[in-house]
Amino acid sequence: MQTIDIINFIKINKELILMKFRKLILFLIFFCFCGFYVKLAFSQSLESVINSKNRTPNYVDRDKYRNPLETLNFFKINNKMKVIELQPSGGNSPGGWYTEILAPYLQKEGKLIAAHFNPNESKWRAKMRKGFEERIKKNPDFKNIEMSVLSMPPTKLSSDNSVDMVLTFRNLHNWLKAGYLKEVFQVTYDALKPGGIFGVVEHRAPSNFSIKDMNKTGYVTEDLAINFATSVGFLLEESSEINSNNLDAKDHSNGVWNLLPTLKLSDPNDIEKYLIIGESDRMTLRFIKPIN
CB 228 within 8 A of CB 200: no
pLDDT confidence of residue 216? 98
Share of the chain above pLDDT 90, in %: 78
Q: What's the pTM?
A: 0.85
pLDDT-derived band at 38, boundaries 50, 70, 90: very low
Closest CA to 183 of 232, 223, 226, 230: 232
Interval 145-157: pLDDT, tens: 999 999 999 999 9
Q: Give the HSE-up count for residue 96: Cα atoms under 13 Å, Cβ half-sphere.
A: 32
Give pLDDT, residue 43: 58
Higher pLDDT, 166 or 38: 166
**How much is the pLDDT for 40?**
40
- CA atoms of 254 and 271, how far apart (whole Å): 13
pLDDT for 44 equals 84
Contact 82, 163 (CB under 8 A): yes
**pLDDT per residue as tens digits for the range 72-100:** 999 999 999 999 999 997 555 556 899 99
13-17, 139-143, 203-207, 218-222: range with lowest mean pLDDT: 13-17
- Is the sign of the CA dihedral 168, 279, 257, 262 positive or negative? negative
Short-list 209, 241, 213, CA closest to 223: 209
169: β partners:
201
Q: Domain 46-288 belongs to what topology?
A: Rossmann fold (3.40.50)
Give me the percent of the chain exceeding a pLDDT of 70.
83
Q: How far apart are CA 69 and CA 66, in angstroms?
A: 9
pLDDT at 95: 64
155 neighbors 115 (Cβ within 8 angstroms):
no
pLDDT in tens, 259-285: 999 999 999 999 999 999 999 999 999
Give residue limits of the domains in the chain: 2-36, 46-288
3-state secondary structure of 243: coil
- Per-residue model confidence as pLDDT tens digits over 214-265: 999 999 999 999 999 999 999 999 999 999 999 999 999 999 999 999 999 9
